[in-house]
Structure 1
Amino acid sequence: MIRISIDAMGGDHGPEATLPGLVRVVERRPDARFVLFGREEIVRPVLDKLPRLKEVSEFIHCDVAVRMDDKPSQALRVGRWKSSMWRAIEAVKAGEADACISAGNTGALMAMSKFCLRTMADIERPAIAAIWPTIRGESIVLDVGATIGADAQQLVDFAILGAAMANALFDIDQPTVGLLNVGVEEIKGQEEVKEAGRMLREAALETMRYQGFVEGDDIGKGTVDVVVTEGFAGNIALKSAEGTARQIGEYLREAMGRTLMARIGYVFARGAFARLREKMDVRKSNGGVFLGLKGIVVKSHGGADEEGFAAAVELGYEMVKSGLYEKTRSTLDLYHARKPAVPAVDAASRV
């Protein structure tokens, strides 16, 4: 059985979306079990209407729910020890759950996760990794919002974390990795990106294949399995792609209903449009994995409906089942074993 802790209070819709989403997970993943954290007067009435979920869940009352507009420092100060978000994360640390899922405040979730679980050795900052639908299938893009700005070593760490996730999720022995840049030429881009590229080439890890620089349009093409960038650019790219998918969907709906011939054509092409709708459904790709922590935490979009939240929970489920943490740890150990040691500076030479 895979036990997953749930911050039932998180997101714009709270238990009204999170709990029905879990029912969908139970139907598709019968070996999933849940530990639900939230305010009893809000969660219990919804849970009582879902007997299938109630059978496979344990509910724990929490006095506090972190608000979507709380600052991370405020959430830590007020919500530590007694909020549904903190308790859900803490369950992973205590071994009572294999993964934590929340649709709550992203900044608060990252701050609490880092404070409670701590980062892996040699990882300075965690990253949020997203599953990105592409022409070839799916890719992983990170960071999409955890770290604004990143130095060369942090970008290398992100590449290692992303490659381990691709190995675990897609079962690829040597995932291809690219650094997002303004051009593919080695002379282009910021110094941090160019230095990260040099470090990845010199590391020559068997667990990944560094392909060099990639541009923005390479993400949708699926040019590489893992696209690495810092959180500012990654978050903008993610939100732009989601907005574009919705925009194209609206264009298609408008075009198909404009004339009688268009409506007749839609009838004959319903199967093709159904497949297109499924491909463009951003709910299917919901869920960002916090990589680099000593435990698995997945952030669902705050506005996700029950199907979107179910996708985030299933992503966490797959991360546990595929051994993400162990594969990440072994890849990091391999890299740091090969990384040249920085020569110590003799004290006398400083005088």
Structure 2
Amino acid sequence: MPTLRHTKSEENLGGYDNNTASAFSMCGMLCDDNDPDWSKEDDEISQQYTQLKKPIDRDTISQMSQESSDSREPPMWISALDIRKRLSDSFQENKNKQFTHDPEDPSAAVLKEPWQEKEQRVRESSPYGHLSTWKLLSVIVKCGDDLRQELMASQLLQMFQKIWQMEHVPLWVHPYKILCLSNDSGLIEPILNTISLHQEYGPMNSEAFLSAQKNFVQSCAAYCLICYLIQVKDRHNGNILLKSDGHLIHIDFGFILSTSPKNLGFETSPFKLTSEFVEIMGGDYSDMFEYFKILILQGLIAARKHQDMIIPLVEIMRSGSQLPCFKSGAATVQNLKSRFHMNMTEEQLQLEVNKMVEGSMHSLSTKLYDGFQYFTNGIL
């Protein structure tokens, strides 16, 4: 690290403020712990920074950073040697706590360390962890895809969520945040503490299992209804997550309304409802399965009551849009309206829901599509 040693000169240090000094001292953690001279020199540099006077000409960003720091937290100086030692100790500790491989459920390894514990661990090793404004964020950086359609889907999920809350329908969805940076890049909020669909929650009569089962049914019914109304496709198991508390979460809304993978329209069922889903509910003759169908019916009645919160949003997005989901033009919105079944009575709507559930359970296209995904991903 010869460059850092050169900056020991007073004239090279004059243009930095105290915040820069703290950040600069972090660079010492990259050096070799076996080099005592380097550690000593690093601390001398840090000491020189703390004695510097605030420069008169500072750029606006630096000044804002300093004022923000002064107003919220008292200054706190940490030597580079202390930072290095803290990170080294944390690294050694984590090496001794490696997550174990579970042959029965390899995908569940992601839940061995909950996000809250990970956040606390990183904060303890951060030289800025003492600040009240410190926060650890997790994002997925995506390039090459237009996320505006994904953003619209997230907004629709928020609308459905609001409608069901207004009508006191216990359906559960998890809209995740999306930030579009350009027409082919953006940031996506990942779903934390999620696992594959085959994670277990203990004996079927245990409180933990029953709670997770209820969460599963309420969220599965919500996403089934959403998948039907806005025609979400490409529903392979890689796009369906299971939260640690049992809630089901759908991700990746790249194919909605009038689009499907390769525009083949292969997935013909109203929504994805596999035998495994039904088994988690207790089977197609169980009380929870009946509860599942009742929730879809209640959710659809509430949604069509407030369809004016959904239709205009899609119409606005369609106006002048080149998004793939609007390739059918005005027919896209018209087809969406028809799926609310405004001309049906509630009794007729109940029969329609039962028909959709039965059709989805026994859908050949769903089984073939899942088999294709298993094969292409090397599972079979």
- TM-score grouping bracket, smaller chain normalisation: under 0.3
Higher Cα radius of gyration: 2
What's the TM-score, normalizing by structure 1? Answer: 0.24
User: Relative contact order (alpha carbons < 8 A, sep ≥ 6): 1 or 2 greater?
Assistant: 1
Question: Higher strand share goes to which structure?
Answer: 1
